[in-house]
Amino acid sequence: MVVAGIREDADHYYPAESGGILLGYISDREAVITAFVDGGPRAIRLRDGFIPDQEYHVDSIARVYRDSGYQTTYLGDWHSHPDGPLALSWRDRRTLRRIAGYREARLPTPVLIIIGGSNDWSIAAWTVYSKSCSIIRQYPNLPIRTFP
């Protein structure tokens, strides 16, 4: 459901970039992503960039956290690279490091899912550890654990 939903969103806005956030929980040092949120009504989707609707994301995180009995939290971001690679751009790396270093998020190893390509999308999940970014799973090996 998460992978299919991200793919559908990427398709819908192709050839512009799209993206959003990832929600779930940490279990035995694994990120279990149970849901994704789209960019939001005020997101800006361009051929070479994506700016999320921050307010929509803050509200979504708070609502899901409350509705899940304070279990489901923010785990990271996702975005598309239309006709592009699964590799992280320098800006993606900077964003990952910034989330990891942002104390209020309490998320030292955030996940960033990149969906690249076009009709034939590929998906990869990245994280950051000690300021160095690394790939954790690549489709079809996604789920990170229990991706539906």
Residues that bind Zn ion (CB under 5 A): 89, 92
Cβ of residue 20: shortest distance to Zn ion, in angstroms?
A: 13
Residue (31 or 88) nearer to Zn ion, CB: 88
| Residues 42, 56 contacting (CB under 8 angstroms) | yes
Residue (30 or 92) nearer to Zn ion, CB: 92
Cβ of residue 34: shortest distance to Zn ion, in angstroms?
A: 23
Q: What does each C-alpha distance from 121 to 1, 10, 64, 70, 100 come to in angstroms?
A: 15, 9, 28, 33, 27
Residue (35 or 133) nearer to Zn ion, CB: 133
Cβ of residue 119: shortest distance to Zn ion, in angstroms?
A: 19
**Virtual torsion, Cα 112, 93, 86, 37, nearest 10 deg:** 30
